[in-house]
Amino acid sequence: METQQTTVIINGAGPTGLSLACQLLRYGIDFIILDKNEKTTHLSKAMVVHARTMEIFHEIGVAEKAVAQGQTTGQMNLMTNGKIRQQLQLTRFGEGLTQFPFFLILEQSKTETLLAEHLVSEGKQVQWNSEFIRLEESGDHVTVTYKDGNGAERQITGDYLVGCDGAKSIVRHQLGLAFEGDTEEELFFVADVKINSATLQPGNAYVNLTDGGFVIFFPMQGEHHYRVIGIVPDEFKSKEELAFDDFKTIIKIQAQFELGFEETFWFSTYRVHSRKANSFGRGRCYIAGDAAHIHTPAGGQGMNTGIQDAYNLAWKLAYVIKGKADPSLLETYSIERVANAEKLLKTTDRAFDLLTTEGIFGRFFRTYMIPFVAAIATKTSFTMRSVFPMISMLSIKYPHSPLTTKSHIGKIHAGDRMPYFLHKGVSIYEQLKNPGFKLLRFGNAAIPDDLFSDSVQLHIVGVPAFFEGETDFYIVLRPDNYISYIGRDLAGIRVV
Ligand SMILES: Cc1cc2nc3c(=O)[nH]c(=O)nc-3n(C[C@H](O)[C@H](O)[C@H](O)COP(=O)(O)OP(=O)(O)OC[C@H]3O[C@@H](n4cnc5c(N)ncnc54)[C@H](O)[C@@H]3O)c2cc1C
């Protein structure tokens, strides 16, 4: 049997695996990407591409296509028991914080197609109909055995393996990495439907908090097309099989406003899992995306987090494979991304508990406290300035990473994502697309020595106001545009 050879084997061509492949292309690293399916998903699943993901898409050249194929969310309406209580304009919610200050609605099927087509345009493609069976790690390589479309067993040998194979990851199982956490008791439903209603306005989202829980109407592409998410009431749970007519009834009861159903595209029920692996790698094998962590889909964070796992891992693999960094660099992938997943699970769990708590307290919280707090928050620009970065993942940071040299200028700290600003009239991110370390020299800071000669260097004369009056300093940026050092003295500062 002929064995295929490559550098990185990627198992799974969902958004995480496809993103990893697109990133490895930027660094010129060879890979083979396998998937047991015959093509990308046709399901809408994750519907929002967040700003931080858009910045990453911009680097690989697919952000503009994503914008052209998607649509931005209009207004968010907070309702209680069918009545609108608060409205929040989302169209340019994150203005001044990123080149992509909106929530882009793009179905997961389209996001995956975009990434898969990008691979093809670069001369690579997914090896479909290839089901991973087992891995064997020995010394300096990993061998993967998979079953091809005819049922024949085949092998690939690579330097590294990354399991991007979803929540039931076979790679995670074979590595023996525990997947700890729990599963909510509640049964949720999701339906993609065409709805006729005078209450629902095109492009707007509606979060309706009810005595019994919530029902969310999220705009999808296409006229009157909505994703509806809610909790299956106890009286329906005992039914052997729920038909869509049951869902129509449930949605009407929960919405508490006039609506009619015109068409149903997809509906399903699911239980929310909240789990993560304690380590995202062992030896030459790593896991990323849903294979490493899963949480409630309501926060719209799952797919985006997987894409960002891949972004974090790709440059580290590339630097180690090219001999530019010690293999210990790869340990920082797990350190940084496990911490991120932990924080995310805590936040989504807390938010979800608030939405689903039963009894008088839950009802009081949903129908009185949340609208009350939202009314105050939407009037405070400080609160609003922190909401967009949190949801759109701009505020993800690595302050405790071994790659972060504790330092700060004003409110900007090492470990933060490079803050967005305009340099010579264009987004600073336009000048940070190069997949390598960068040195930004601000004001009159001295020209650095040869140690940084391999890094892209930028001189910034007009220093943005958020540096609070400081003018002469440096920022050392990692290839993923997180700050590894910010300060006035480069002595002792190294790039890996
Ligand atoms: C209803 C719903 C709504 C959601 N909404 C959102 C949202 O709004 N925002 C958001 O960010 N996320 C959302 N999510 C979550 C999102 O869909 C997932 O987080 C995302 O798909 C994870 O991507 P992944 O690539 O890690 O895994 P997956 O998408 O699960 O991809 C794994 C791939 O691995 C392949 N595979 C598995 N086993 C093998 C094997 N043995 N051999 C070869 N191939 C294999 C599979 O065929 C698949 O293609 C939602 C999910 C659901 C179900």
* Local confidence pLDDT in tens for the 496 residues of the chain: 689 999 999 999 999 999 999 999 999 999 999 999 999 999 999 999 999 999 999 999 999 999 999 999 999 999 999 999 989 888 888 999 999 999 999 999 999 999 999 999 999 999 999 999 999 999 999 999 999 999 999 999 999 999 999 999 999 999 999 999 988 778 888 899 999 999 999 999 999 998 888 899 999 998 999 999 988 888 887 787 888 788 888 889 889 999 999 998 998 888 888 999 999 999 999 999 999 999 877 667 999 999 999 999 999 999 999 999 999 999 999 999 999 999 998 887 777 776 777 777 677 767 777 777 777 766 666 666 788 999 999 999 999 999 999 999 999 999 999 999 999 999 999 999 999 999 999 999 998 877 788 888 999 998 898 898 889 999 999 999 999 999 999 988 877 7
Q: Please say whether the beta carbons of 114 and 58 come within 8 A.
A: no
- Characterize 360-395 residue by residue with b for buried, 16 or more Cβ atoms within 10 angstroms of its Cβ, and e for exposed: eebbebbbeebbeebeeebeeeeeeeeebbebbbbe
Out of 247, 265, 290, mutate this one to test ligand 1's pocket (max ligand atoms within 8 Å of CB): namely 290
Question: What is the CA(43)–ligand 1 centre distance, in A?
Answer: 10
Distance 40 CA to ligand 1 centre (A): 11
pTM for the structure as a whole = 0.94
User: pLDDT tens digit string along 216-258?
Assistant: 999 999 899 999 998 888 888 778 788 878 888 888 988 999 9
Q: Which residues line ligand 1 (CB under 6 A)?
A: 11-17, 34-37, 45-48, 108, 131-132, 164-166, 170, 190, 289-290, 297, 300-304, 306
User: What digits encode the pLDDT tens for the residues 371-412?
Assistant: 777 777 666 666 667 889 999 999 999 999 999 999 999 999
The Å distance, Cα 374 to ligand 1 centre, comes to 32
Ligand 1 geometric centre to CA of 15 (Å):
7
What DSSP state is assigned to residue 241?
Answer: S
Query: Which atom of ligand 1 lies at the shortest distance from residue 291's CA?
Result: 26
Name which residue sits closest to atom 37 of ligand 1, judged by CA. 165
Could you tell me the distance, in angstroms and rounded to a whole number, from the CA of residue 334 to the centre of ligand 1?
A: 20
303 phi, psi to nearest 5 deg: -60, -45
Tell me the CA–centroid distance for residue 302 and ligand 1, in Å: 8
Ligand 1 atom with minimal separation from the 50 CA? 11
Strand arrangement, sheet containing 285-287: 31-34, 8-11, 160-163, 285-287, 281-282
Q: From atom 26 of ligand 1, which residue's Cα is the shortest distance away?
A: 289
